[in-house]
Structure 1
Amino acid sequence: MKVGIIGGTKGLGKTLAILLKKEGYDVTITGRDTSVGLTVSEKLGVSYSNDNKKTANVNDIVIVSVPIATTSAVIKEIANSMKKGSLLLDVTSVKEGPSNLMNELLDDDVEFIPTHPVFGPRTTNLNGQVIVLTPIKKGKWYPKVIDFLKKHKMRIIEASPSEHDKMMSIVQILTHFSYISTASAIKKLGISIKDTRKFASPIYGLMVDMISRIVSQNPILTYSIQLENENGENVRETFTESVLELKDVLTNQDEEKFVKIAIEATKNLDDIQAALGRSDKAIESLNHEISSLKNAVGKEIALKHIYSEEVHIGILTDLDPEFVTLNTKKGEKNLKIANIKILDEENLKEWKLINKEIKTQSISCVFPNSCNEAIIAQAISKLDEITDVKITDIYHGPQVANDKISITFEIDAFDVSAFENVETFLKGFGGIIR
C-alpha cells in the first residue's frame, strides 16, 4: 500500500515515515527543501517528492504532517487532487479547523480521519502510545485504521473535534504554559538547575525532566498549539488568576485560605493513591537503574542508547551522577546515563542473534550408558554465549566400552571461547572428550 506523508522530512512526519517503512508500506515524503528531502529520503529508504498535489493523487493514504499554522493551506492545496477511494489523515494537535475543512472540501469518494497522535517525534515504538481519532463520518477505511492501531497496541480514544480541543487545552496548553513559565522563572532567578539537583528529591528531578522535555520542543510548534486552540486564552487567563490568587494569599499570610485552596485543588484531582503509586514506580525505576549500574562496576555490561539504538558492550570502569565509562573492544566510551538503558540477558541475547556471527562446533563426549543425553544438552544450552544445542549422533561401537555411550553435540555460540567452556563443563559431568 502506498502512503504519502506531506511534511515527512522532519518532526512527527519523519517519525511516521520510519515506522511505516518498517511495516512494509511504500512511503513517499514531501518537503519544501528538495536538498533536505532527498537526503532524508535516501537515509530512510523512502521516496521523495516536492509536489504535494502529485503525491496526493498517486497514494492510497495521505498524511498531512505540517505545522498547525499551515495545515489548512495544505488541505486546501491537495483536496481536489486526492485519489478516488483514498484516505486523508492529518496529525495536528488542533482538530476543529482541519476536521471542518476536510469535511467541506473533499469529494464524497475520499474518506478523511482527523487524528492526533499524542506523542512526539522522539517516539520509536507505538506500543502503549495514545492516539485520538475525531471522525465526523466513518467509511471503509475506518475499521482498517482501527485494526492497525490495535495491532500495535495503541491506546485509541474517539472524540468529537470540539471535545478533543477542550481536553487538549488542559493536557497541552495549560501544561506547556505552566512548565515554560516555571523554566522562565528559574532563569530569571539566576539559579543553575544542575546545582538544584544536588539538593533535590527524586520527585523534583522528575519534574525538571518533564519541564525540560516540554521546553526543548520546537518553540514554533509550542506557540502554534497555544495560539490555534480556541480554548487557549481562557485557560491561560484562568491559570494566571490562580497564580495571582495564591500569591496574594501568601503575601497576606492567610494560612486558612491557603489550606482551603490546596484542599479544594486536591479534591478535584483523580485517584490520589494511584498517582502516588505511579510516581513511586517512576522513582523506584530510576533508583533501580542507578543501583544496577553501581553493582556492575568492574563487570561486563551491555548498554543500549535509547535514541540511536546502538548497543555498547564492555567493562564498566567508572560511574558518576551523569556519565558511565565503558571499556569496549573499540576503546573507552563515555555515555550519558539519561540516554542509555541496561540490556538484561534476554534482550542482550536477542540483540546478539541479530548482530553477531554465530559460531558452530561439534563436540563428541563419552558417558556412561545410563546418562540422559537430553538433560545434558539442555544443561549445555544454559551456559553463557550458547545459542543452540543439537544432538547429532549417539554411538555404540568398538571404539567405545560396552558400558559407555558416545554423544555428539552440535553447538552454536556467539564466541569460540564458549566451546572450551562446554568441554570443561562436560568433563565436570564425568564425560571424556573424544
Structure 2
Amino acid sequence: MNVGIIGGSDGLGKTLIYYFRDEFNVFITGRDHKKGREVAKDAKVNYIESNAGLANISDMLIVSVPIQHTSDVIREVAPFMKEGSVMIDVTSIKEKPSKTMAEVLPDTIEYIPTHPIFGPRTTQLDNQVIVLTADKKGKWYDKVYRYLESKNMRIIETTAEKHDYMMSIVQVLTHFSFISTASAIEKLKIDISETEDYESPIYNLMIDLIARIVSQNPYLTYNIQSMNSNGPKIRNTFADAVLELRDAINDGDDKKFMDIAINATKHMGDITNALGRSDKAINGLNHEYGILYDSVGREVGLKHIYSGKIHVGILEGLDGKTAFLKTGNKVKNLRIANIEVLSDDELYQWKLDNLDKKTESISCVFSKIVHVETIEKTVMNIDNIIDIRLTDAYNGPQIDDDSISLTFEVTALSKDDIENVKKLFTGFGGIIR
C-alpha cells in the first residue's frame, strides 16, 4: 500500500514516517524541497515535489500541515486523489477540516479526520491517544481502526464538534495558562536557575511541563488558540477566574479565597488518583537520579531517550542536571533529563552486540581433587565472561602424580576479564602454565 504524507519533512508528519515505513511504501512532500529530499533519504522513503502528484499515487493520503493551511491543502489535492483511496488529516482542530473534506471530496474518496494526541517527540504508539471524528464510516474506517488497535493505541470515537470542545480544555486552557505563567516569570525578571536551590519536586515538575509547552512552535500554539471556535469563551473564563482570585487575596477576603479553592478542588475529580500519578512522576525522577548517584565511579550504560544512542563508560560524577561519563580518554556531558540508565542485563547485552570478544586458552595445574564444574560455574559468575569450556586434561610426566593440568577455552568481553579468570584459577590453588 502507498502511504503519502503531505508535510512529511517536519513535525508530526516527519514522525509518522518512522511508524509507517517498515509496513508500507511511504512517499512524502514538503515545502522546502531540499530539506524534504534530505529527510526522505535519511528515512529511506520516497520524496515527491508535487502534492497533487502524491495524491494521485496514494492509497492513503495523510495531510500533516499547519492548521491554518490544512483546508487549503485539502482543496488543492482533492481533484487528484485515486478512486477508492482515503484522506486523513492529523490537525488538532477538527471542525473546519471535516467540513472541507465533506465539501470537496467525491463519494468515491473516503475521509477520516483524526487527531493523534501526542507530539513529534513521542517515540512509540503504545498507549497513546488518537481521536477519530469520521461523520460516516466506509471500508477504510475499519482498516484504520484495526491498525491503530494493533498498535495498542487508545482510540476515541466522537464528533468534530465534541472533539474541539474537549481540546479547548485540554489544549487551549492549559497552553494559555502555562504560557501566561511563563510570561509572568519573564516580566518579573526571575532567573529560573536561581530558584533551583529552593525548588520542591512539584515546582520542578511544573516548570518542566511549562517549559515543554512554551518551547513548542509558537505558530502552532497560536493557531491552536485562535482557530478553535471555543477559544474566546475559554480564555475569558480563565481571565475572570484569575481576577476573582487576585481580588479575594488583595481584599483580604479569606472566606472568598477558601470558597474558590474548595470549589475548585471538588471539581477536579479523583484527587487520590491525581496525587498517585504525580507521586509516580516525582518518584520516577528521584529513582532515576538515585540510580545514577549510586553508580558514580562504576561502569554504566546511558541511553538517550530520543535518539536511542547508548553511551557506555565510567560515570565520573553528577551536578544535578548533567552526568559526566568517561569513555576512553574523553568525558561526555549528558543531560540527565534526556537519558535512562540501562539495567545490568541490558548493558551486558549491549556489550555482547557491540564489543569485540576475546578468546584465550588457559592451562593451569590443579590438585587432582579439584571439581571442574565448580570452577566453570564460578568463572561464569565473573562479570563479562561469555563462555568457558574444558578442552584438555593432562597428567603426563611433567605433572605431579597428585595434580592435573586442565586447559579451558575462555571467551570474555575484554583482556582484563580473562586476566580475572586467571586470578580466580590461582585462588583455587592452581598454577598457570
TM-score with structure 2 length normalisation? 0.88
Distance verdict in 2 for CA 1:403–1:142, change over 3 Å: farther
Could you tell me whether the CA contact under 8 Å between 1:377 and 1:409 is conserved in 2? no
SS in 1 for 2:196: helix
TM-aligned CA deviation for residue 222 of structure 1: 0.3
SS in 1 for 2:300: strand
Corresponding residue for 2:150? Answer: 151
Deviates more, 1:214-223 or 1:131-140: 131-140
- Alpha-carbon distance between aligned partners in 1 of 2:378 and 2:269, rounded to the nearest angstrom: 51
**Paired residue type of 1:177:** F
1:7-406 → structure 2 map (5 Å cutoff) = 7-21=7-21, 23-359=22-358, 380-387=379-386, 389=387
TM-aligned CA deviation for residue 106 of structure 1: 2.3
**Paired residue type of 2:193:** K
Distance verdict in 2 for CA 1:425–1:83, change over 3 Å: farther
- Alpha-carbon distance between aligned partners in 2 of 1:368 and 1:135, rounded to the nearest angstrom: 80
Deviates more, 1:43-52 or 1:5-14: 43-52
- Alpha-carbon distance between aligned partners in 1 of 2:381 and 2:51, rounded to the nearest angstrom: 56
TM-aligned CA deviation for residue 18 of structure 1: 2.4
SS in 2 for 1:198: coil
**Paired residue type of 2:5:** I
**Paired residue type of 2:336:** I
Distance verdict in 2 for CA 1:380–1:143, change over 3 Å: farther
- Alpha-carbon distance between aligned partners in 1 of 2:249 and 2:69, rounded to the nearest angstrom: 44
**Paired residue type of 2:275:** L
Distance verdict in 2 for CA 1:370–1:351, change over 3 Å: closer
**Paired residue type of 1:187:** E
Could you tell me whether the CA contact under 8 Å between 1:423 and 1:433 is conserved in 2? yes
Could you tell me whether the CA contact under 8 Å between 2:88 and 2:113 is conserved in 1? yes
Distance verdict in 2 for CA 1:312–1:113, change over 3 Å: same
TM-aligned CA deviation for residue 223 of structure 1: 0.5
- Alpha-carbon distance between aligned partners in 1 of 2:216 and 2:155, rounded to the nearest angstrom: 24
Deviates more, 1:107-116 or 1:70-79: 107-116
- Alpha-carbon distance between aligned partners in 2 of 1:405 and 1:107, rounded to the nearest angstrom: 88
- Alpha-carbon distance between aligned partners in 1 of 2:199 and 2:93, rounded to the nearest angstrom: 36
**Paired residue type of 2:62:** I
What's the CA shift string for 1:184-237, capped at 9, x where partnerless?
A: 011111111111121111100100000000000000000010111111111111
Deviates more, 1:156-165 or 1:236-245: 156-165
SS in 1 for 2:414: coil
SS in 1 for 2:303: strand
- Alpha-carbon distance between aligned partners in 2 of 1:261 and 1:5, rounded to the nearest angstrom: 48
What's the CA shift string for 1:251-304, capped at 9, x where partnerless?
A: 211111111111111111121111111111111122222222222222222222
Distance verdict in 2 for CA 1:402–1:277, change over 3 Å: farther
SS in 2 for 1:116: strand
SS in 2 for 1:199: coil
TM-aligned CA deviation for residue 322 of structure 1: 2.2
- Alpha-carbon distance between aligned partners in 2 of 1:403 and 1:103, rounded to the nearest angstrom: 93
- Alpha-carbon distance between aligned partners in 2 of 1:62 and 1:290, rounded to the nearest angstrom: 44
Could you tell me whether the CA contact under 8 Å between 1:57 and 1:82 is conserved in 2? yes
Could you tell me whether the CA contact under 8 Å between 1:394 and 1:406 is conserved in 2? no
TM-aligned CA deviation for residue 409 of structure 1: 7.2
TM-aligned CA deviation for residue 238 of structure 1: 0.7
**Paired residue type of 2:161:** S
Could you tell me whether the CA contact under 8 Å between 2:394 and 2:406 is conserved in 1? no
- Alpha-carbon distance between aligned partners in 1 of 2:368 and 2:135, rounded to the nearest angstrom: 76
- Alpha-carbon distance between aligned partners in 1 of 2:276 and 2:326, rounded to the nearest angstrom: 38
Deviates more, 1:411-420 or 1:111-120: 411-420
**Paired residue type of 1:322:** K
SS in 1 for 2:62: strand
Could you tell me whether the CA contact under 8 Å between 1:7 and 1:30 is conserved in 2? yes
- Alpha-carbon distance between aligned partners in 1 of 2:409 and 2:156, rounded to the nearest angstrom: 52
Distance verdict in 2 for CA 1:228–1:369, change over 3 Å: farther
What's the CA shift string for 1:121-165, capped at 9, x where partnerless?
A: 111222222211222222333333233323332222222211111
TM-score with structure 1 length normalisation? 0.88
Deviates more, 1:250-259 or 1:309-318: 309-318
**Which 5+ residue runs of structure 2 have no aligned equivalent?**
none
**Which 5+ residue runs of structure 1 have no aligned equivalent?**
none
Could you tell me whether the CA contact under 8 Å between 2:393 and 2:406 is conserved in 1? no
- Alpha-carbon distance between aligned partners in 2 of 1:26 and 1:100, rounded to the nearest angstrom: 29
Distance verdict in 2 for CA 1:80–1:289, change over 3 Å: same
**Paired residue type of 1:258:** F
Could you tell me whether the CA contact under 8 Å between 2:379 and 2:388 is conserved in 1? no
- Alpha-carbon distance between aligned partners in 2 of 1:149 and 1:367, rounded to the nearest angstrom: 65
SS in 1 for 2:324: strand
Could you tell me whether the CA contact under 8 Å between 1:396 and 1:404 is conserved in 2? no
Distance verdict in 2 for CA 1:425–1:280, change over 3 Å: same
- Alpha-carbon distance between aligned partners in 2 of 1:410 and 1:126, rounded to the nearest angstrom: 46
Deviates more, 1:121-130 or 1:161-170: 121-130
Percent identity at matched positions? 53
- Alpha-carbon distance between aligned partners in 2 of 1:429 and 1:106, rounded to the nearest angstrom: 81
- Alpha-carbon distance between aligned partners in 1 of 2:269 and 2:342, rounded to the nearest angstrom: 35
SS in 1 for 2:61: strand
**Paired residue type of 2:129:** V
